[in-house]
Chain A
C-alpha cells in the first residue's frame, strides 16, 4: 500500500534560517506529490505540488523536487519567517485515484 513518512517535529528555527523538512514515500504506481500547510485554527492549504519525476513545485519561497530514485519530496525554504510557523503535511495521490495519503505532519516554529 501507499505511505508517506515525514520527519518528526517540532522543527524550531530562528527567522531567516534555512528550512528542510524531509518526506519520503512508498507507492505502488506513479504518484503525484503534494505539500499542504495548516496554520493554527485553520484547514489545510495546498502549498505546492509535483506530478512526475524531476518536477519542481514552488510557491511563496518554498520548493520541493520529486525524486523518483530516492522516493523523496523534501520541502525547502531559503529564509523562513515567523509567519511560516505552521504544520506542514506531505501527501501523495496515486494515479487514477483521488484520495490522498498524508504523512503525520511536521510542526515548524520560527522565532524572531
Chain B
C-alpha cells in the first residue's frame, strides 16, 4: 500500500506565473484535502475534494483552484502567483470526507 505522494518536492516560480501541484492519494482513499503552511505557522485549509467534487473551501481567493480525477489523484492550481503564496503545500487523503487524514511530504513553493 503506497502512501500519499506529492510532486514536485520543490519549485521556484516568478510572481504572476501559474503553478500546478500534484497529489496521489493513498490506495483506497476517495477524499483529498489541500493545506497551505506558511513558515512558522500551522497548516491552513484550502479546499477538499470528495469523489471528484469540491466538498468545502477555506478562506482562499478563486485563483486557488483544484481538480480531482477518477483515480482520486488531485491537482492544486494557483494563478497569478504572489510573493505571499510562498509556502509548503500539503495534500492529505482519507477514505471518506470525515475520516482520518494522511499527509504527503508536501511541495515547497517559493515565489520570487
The answer to whether A and B come from one shared complex is: no
